[in-house]
Structure 1
Amino acid sequence: MNAKVLIIEDEKELGELVQLFLEKDGISSVLCSTAEEGLELLNGSSFDLIILDINLPGMDGFEFLQIFRRRSTTGVIILSAREADEDVVLGLGLGADEFVTKPFAPKVLVARVRALLRRMKSSGESSQRISFGNFVLHPEGYALFKDGERIVLSTKEFDVLRFLAMNPQRVFTSSEIYSAVWNQAYGDITSVAVYIQRLRKKIEKDPSNPEYILTIHGKGYLFDRERDS
């Protein structure tokens, strides 16, 4: 498997052990000890997956993940000596793909790495998770998070947001959105405007001047993800 992994772990011996087991399995890796170093490495190199310790000196893993998810959907496996439910929920909410509790068997971690790499390759990153601004959308899990906190959406609100977010930079008429989300060719298309208004109240800083769900006058609606690029 030709893959490159970034390991961010301040325990040098543990980091080197993980690196050794990955390389035995044919996976190349780079090790650093702080989140700040990790961000610098990511500015100059591309990686297929990140193994991230939460308890880091300086910027912790959660803060790193929050910053990183604003610009990338690369897979992330969190390592933590803490197994509190709150940490798991926060980590997954910020966009982590896996949560591994210390101590762990290196072979198990390598198996998790391989499984996540296969899943990302077969499914495509965009179907696993969509990031925009401070938000992380899990299309298959019916979940939307902002800075690690879950945003409560109704099923139909989520369906509308998912449809638009998975088709960014494209203009859709109300009829097209209604047909795709309600799975009906005909119906009360004014419902679309109602749900757009509800979504804007939940995800936009200023619903009257939206950043993400834009109205293209005379044509329809467009979901703008390029604002983050």
Structure 2
Amino acid sequence: MAKETILVVDDEAPIRQAIQAGFMGEGIDVDEAADGGEALQMLEKKHYSLVILDVMMPDVSGYTVLQKMRASGDHTPVMMLSGKSDEVDQVLGLGFGADSYLTKPFRISVLIQNAKALIRRTREYSVQVQEIRRGPFVADTLRMECFKNGRELNLTGRELTLFRFFMEHPGQVFTKEQLYQHVWNEAAVDDNTIMVYIKRIRDKIEDDPKNPVYLKTIRGIGYRFDGE
């Protein structure tokens, strides 16, 4: 991972410096941005393996940066940092397209572990040259793109990872625990996170998200993808 570069966006210099020092010990390069506006300029000029993004910043917030990234088609994995532990804020960040959410104060070792896991999963999925076809859907795992009837669905990196997992196992029912283990590589299950991602994927793949045809809820068990 020595060639990976991470962008850390936070208006507090001590936090940026602490994160940078931690990643330097792992052989990972870090660029810093002191505010959202500076971050957007840097993202236009350079591709990053991960963006670590503070939520509360003056002028341009982390949420705004994230929204602009996703609107422009930038699916770089994003880990959000926030001093707020409110569940609503976490769901909001995930709803905008964040891949992970860490509440301040945090341990640098935990942040690094989560960051490396995000980078690893993104890299593993992007290097495999293959195309998955299920019904009207085509997932291009090299370009990290997904289409329905030839129209790009504009899934974020984590959305595509989860949807690809379903596409690889059509007709199979998965519990929330199994999805967390296979897609997030974590044993602890966050029901809100799963529900947010399922809703976001349905909003993009279903003609009527409230009456899903492809990604179905199996009451009391979990979810099943019917792609044919």
- Give how far 1:42 is off: 0.9
Tell me the alpha carbon deviations over residues 106-154 of structure 1, each in whole angstroms, 9 at most, x when there is no partner.
11111111111111111239768869799759225533277xxxx9443
The answer as to whether partners of 1:66 and 1:134 remain within 8 angstroms in 2 is: no
> Any conservation in 2 of the 1:53–1:79 contact (CA below 8 Å)?
yes
Match for residue 86 of structure 1 among 72, 85, 88:
88
Which residue of the partner structure matches residue 143 of structure 1?
199
Q: CA deviation at 1:44?
A: 1.1
RMSD: 2.9
Q: Which amino acid aligns with 2:32?
A: L
Amino acid at match of 1:154: N
Identity of counterpart residues, as a percentage?
27
Report what 1:114 is aligned to: 116
Give the Å deviation of 1:45: 1.1
Distance 1:109 1:121 in 2: 18
Give, as a single letter, the amino acid of the residue that structure 1 aligns with 2:60: M
Give the structure-2-normalised TM-score. Answer: 0.61
**Residue identity in the other structure for 1:73:** H
1:156 aligns with 2:202: no
Aligned length: 158
* 1:21 maps to amino acid: G
Match of 1:123 in 2: 125
**2 CA distance for matches of 1:154 and 1:51?**
35
Secondary structure class of the residue paired with 2:227: helix
After TM superposition, what 4+ stretches of structure 1 lie above 3 angstroms from structure 2? 124-137
Are 1:47 and 2:73 matched, yes or no?
Answer: no
Tell me: CA distance 1:130–1:62, structure 2 relative to 1, closer, same or farther (3 Å): farther
Find out whether 1:181 has 2:227 as its counterpart.
Answer: yes
- Which SS does the other structure have where 1:122 is aligned? helix
Alpha-carbon distance in 2 for matches of 1:24, 1:7: 16
Task: Give distance in 2, aligned partners of 1:61 and 1:27.
Answer: 23
Amino acid at match of 2:99: D
Given that 2:145 and 2:155 are in contact with CA atoms closer than 8 Å, whether structure 1 keeps it comes out as no
Distance in 2, matches of 1:54 and 1:118, equals 24
Amino acid at match of 1:30: D
Q: Counterparts of 1:143 and 1:129 in 2: how far apart (Å)?
A: 19
Partners of 2:145 and 2:154 within 8 A in 1: no
> Letter of the aligned partner of 1:33 in structure 2?
A
Of the structure 1 ranges 62-71 and 49-58, higher mean CA displacement relative to structure 2 is found in: 62-71
Q: d(CA) in 1 for partners of 2:91 and 2:105?
A: 20
**Secondary structure of the corresponding residue to residue 120 of structure 1:** helix
Structure 1 residue 158, shift from structure 2 partner: 4.8
> Against the structure 1 CA distance between its residues 90 and 152, is the aligned structure 2 distance closer, same or farther, given a 3 Å change threshold?
farther
Number of the residue aligned with 2:13:
12
1:181 Cα shift? 2.5
- Quick check: 1:73 aligned with 2:75? yes
Using structure 1 for the length normalisation, give the TM-score: 0.61
